[in-house]
Amino acid sequence: MNAFDESDEEDNNPFSGTNHLYASGIAAVHEGQDDFVPPAILTDIQEKEESREELMNQLFGGETSNIVDSQQDSVIGLQSEYREPSLEREQPQSESRIPTFSSQIEDRKIKIIDAGHFRDAYGKYAIGYTIEFAGKQVVRRYSEFDTLRHALYRLLPTVIVPPIPSKHPLIRYFLNPLSAEKDIRIIERRKRLLSLFLSNCYAVEEIREHVVFTKFLDPEQNWRNVINSPPISIIPTNNLLAPPLQPTKPSPLHLLLPNVTLSSNRGEDYEMSEEMLEKERWFKDTEDILKKFEKVLQPLEKTSKQNRVHFQSLASSLAELGAYYNAFSLEGNILTIKDKLQLVDELSKGIEKVGQAIDVNYVSTEIVSEHVMTLIEEPVAEMLQFIVEARYVLRFRALKMTQFCIVDSTIKKRKARINALQEAQEQMQRLEEALRQNAEQSPTVAQAVKNMDNNGAATAGSASSPNQMPQNKERGTNGWTDLFKSKGSHRPRSSSTAKELAPHLLSDDQRKEEVAKITQELQKLNECFKLITKDILQVNSSVSNSFQHLVSYLKDRFSVIFKSFAHVLLVWLKDSLLAWQNARAMINNIQVT
């Protein structure tokens, strides 16, 4: 009978649920005109009857599964011309066949299966993300992910730690704390990206096997306790003065290494060996590649953001358009009704189908816009974050290299100094010998030698005081930490109060004292050199590993983006095509004379 009496029929009123004039329906529906669609028209074209409500469900409820499902069904060729809408509702909404990043790796070991309110160990309500790993589930909060990431970053300075979505602005948080109901989008986004973060972490051996990471996945562990206990609690403040691969492992010798910053000089014109230069070039090249990636990715991110916004506004325009077509189909398309009921009916249906096609367009456009975000915008942003992270690792490596150069050049300088001192000593001895022999013969020379000795002592004494420079005093700390302090003239403060003076100005004793000191230093320095050489080897291999991983990850990412976005576009195109073909069939059915 009347289609509008039956609840399981579609509700065509596009305005229902709004404040619109037509919200409660339009009266201009003729009695006895039911919504029967002649099957003949639709036998070869799959019918897809979907009410707006369902479309909305697909859109905002489950992850677009229905569209895909029904698409698949229609490809297979479902026999019934008229699909019961309720059937579609019953279909599981959870699994999506669109290869999103969160589902493309089916055998993914770690995933976040849920996000929402939970009560933490202290009885406070918060938004938690349920991680499933090795058959166990653990709920962690965003802040816990954040601290995990930070801990990993500090514990593994040679490893590019995968990024997590940025915090949201603190001010917004105060004004409007996250609630599962309100910020479903932010929570969904975090769920996606945190899940990706975990998988990316899992893909890196150093992280996968790190105790902090395993504790994070362990439901038995209270994260707050983990943070306050080793290894996190004993992370040294300066990674450079600790073993690079395991900063928490005690190593007193590392404390002797020079503390460098990016502005530190590597030592004057430090010459590296050919082998090292080659390594340096490799890292330089890698850095360049990353820069190029960044140059491509940044505009890509911007464009995809715009693209998403454009798709969204297109979708909202289409929504409105569909609504007006539907209104148009129900009323006012004919001025004189006499004798033309048949025509009115056919025309209405044609227009209605066009409206439906536009509705389908709207929904699939909305889905595309959603996927532009999840499949392009977010991954691209993540890739950019990765590159930023990679920079930290590169910087660490560069600092390590600087340390190496400084140690090496210091050793060379010390050795040179010892040689100079020893040479001077020998020269002095020769000179003294000559003077002594001459003085024995000549009283004039003997007098001169006497004067010289006095002067020499005075000069040495006066030279010492202005050289006690303020910065030397400030820098002065105890022990070996000062081993490399002054750059140009590496003179340990403990050895002498005097600045490095030309060797022949020093007295014999001073020379001897200095040689002894420097020899002692050299011993330490050689130990440092061994240490830093080992460090560099470790750092280089670990970092280059990490970079190879990153570059191939970036490339893989592009492939995945292409593939999944192509798929999304195809779904959009197929759905829209089908809807328009349906509309075309109904338009054909309008009989005009």
Residues 461, 509: Cα–Cα separation, whole Å: 14
Give whole-number Cα distances, 582 to 51, 575, 579, in Å: 15, 11, 5
| Contact predicate 445/435, CB 8 Å | yes
Applying CB under 8 A, the span of 137-145, 153-161, 202-210, 559-567 interacting with another protein comes to 559-567
| Contact predicate 293/383, CB 8 Å | yes
Number of residues lying near another protein (CB under 8 A): 59
CA 280 to centroid of chain Cα atoms: 25
Nearer to another protein, 17 or 332 (CB): 332
Any contact of residue 40 with another protein (CB under 8 A)?
no
What's the token pair of residue 58?
């697909």
Nearer to another protein, 218 or 345 (CB): 345
Among 331, 423, 433, 440, binds another protein (CB under 8 A): 331
338: exposed, middle or buried (Cβ count in 10 Å: 0-12, 13-18, 19+) = exposed
Among 118, 270, 328, 553, binds another protein (CB under 8 A): 328
Residues 543, 525: Cα–Cα separation, whole Å: 25
Applying CB under 8 A, the span of 100-108, 155-163, 190-198, 552-560 interacting with another protein comes to 552-560
Any contact of residue 433 with another protein (CB under 8 A)?
no
Nearer to another protein, 83 or 574 (CB): 574
Any contact of residue 306 with another protein (CB under 8 A)?
yes
Residues 139, 125: Cα–Cα separation, whole Å: 12
Any contact of residue 303 with another protein (CB under 8 A)?
yes
Applying CB under 8 A, the span of 88-96, 205-213, 308-316, 518-526 interacting with another protein comes to 308-316
Any contact of residue 289 with another protein (CB under 8 A)?
yes
What's the token pair of residue 154?
């500090």
Residues 171, 182: Cα–Cα separation, whole Å: 17
Nearer to another protein, 348 or 409 (CB): 348
Residue 110's SS3 state is strand
Among 321, 398, 435, 448, binds another protein (CB under 8 A): 321
DSSP letter for 364, please: H
Phi and psi at residue 554, in whole multiples of 5°? -60, -45
Rg, C-alpha atoms of the chain: 39
Nearer to another protein, 4 or 328 (CB): 328
Residues 194, 127: Cα–Cα separation, whole Å: 13
Any contact of residue 325 with another protein (CB under 8 A)?
yes
Contacts of 18 (CB under 8 A, 6+ apart): none
Any contact of residue 383 with another protein (CB under 8 A)?
no
Nearer to another protein, 55 or 164 (CB): 55
Applying CB under 8 A, the span of 192-200, 216-224, 290-298, 538-546 interacting with another protein comes to 290-298
Residues 575, 358: Cα–Cα separation, whole Å: 11
Applying CB under 8 A, the span of 69-77, 111-119, 311-319, 382-390 interacting with another protein comes to 311-319
Binding mask 561-590 toward another protein (x if CB under 8 A, else -) reads: -xx-xxx-xx--xx-xx--xx-xx--xx-x
Give whole-number Cα distances, 52 to 62, 372, 536, in Å: 15, 23, 63
User: Could you tell me the smallest distance in angstroms from the CB atom of residue 253 to another protein?
Assistant: 40
CA proximity to 564, closest of 372, 413, 381:
372
Nearer to another protein, 19 or 94 (CB): 19
User: Could you tell me the smallest distance in angstroms from the CB atom of residue 31 to another protein?
Assistant: 17
Compute how many other C-beta atoms are within 10 angstroms of the C-beta atom of residue 189. Answer: 15
Could you say which residues in the range 335-364 bind another protein, by CB under 8 A? 335-336, 340, 343, 347, 350-351, 354, 357
- What does the binding site for another protein look like in residue numbers (CB under 8 A)? 289, 292-293, 295-296, 299-300, 303-304, 306-307, 310-311, 313-314, 317-318, 320-321, 324-325, 327-328, 331-336, 340, 343, 347, 350-351, 354, 357, 555, 558-559, 562-563, 565-567, 569-570, 573-574, 576-577, 580-581, 583-584, 587-588, 590, 592-593
